[in-house]
Amino acid sequence: MLLHETPAMAAGLDHLIKTVPHFARVDRARFAWRRRDPSFAGLLQMILGQQVSGAAATAMWAKLKKVLPDPTPEKFLALDSETLAACGFSRQKASYGKALAQAIMAGELDLAALSDMPDEEVVMRLTALPGIGRWSAEVYLMFCLGRPDVWPSGDLGL
């Protein structure tokens, strides 16, 4: 699903098109941002892609998908350090991924339940995990849950 196909995002984009002159001729179908997977795999992909270029993140994720076509917490935890390193996981990122997998398996984090929680509750739950800061939690809210009123203001690129 494209991000602009989310009803709240579509409404916001339509509002900009109607009220802001610079957006008047925008074709909202050109906003080809895809929603990301809100599951373990999607959050793991975000962890793997932290602080690297988009191209590097894509290449590392492709390596992991060859080894682990269906990333689940159980399957991820079964991978050894050498395999994770060959896929591009630093020791730190591997530990973050394992902590995420363990939290899900222990029932400490229910990713499906996040979609029904207020934004700040989602941020609190995610940032309780090592390796997930406010920026990652806000990106999860925007691109995985399709929340329209989130802006990662701490993003240095912005």
Which residues form the catalytic set? 155
* Cβ pair 111, 3 in contact under 8 A: no
Three-state secondary structure along 39-100?
CHHHHHHHHHCCCCCHHHHHHHHHHHHHHCCCCCHHHHHCCCHHHHHHHCCCHHHHHHHHHH
How far, in Å, CA of 37 to CA of 61, rounded? Answer: 13
Q: Any idea what the Cα angle at residue 11 is, between residues 9 and 12, rounded to 5°?
A: 65
Number of helices followed by number of strands (H, E) in the chain = 9, 0
How far, in Å, CA of 55 to CA of 52, rounded? Answer: 8
Neighbours of 45 (CB within 10 A): 20
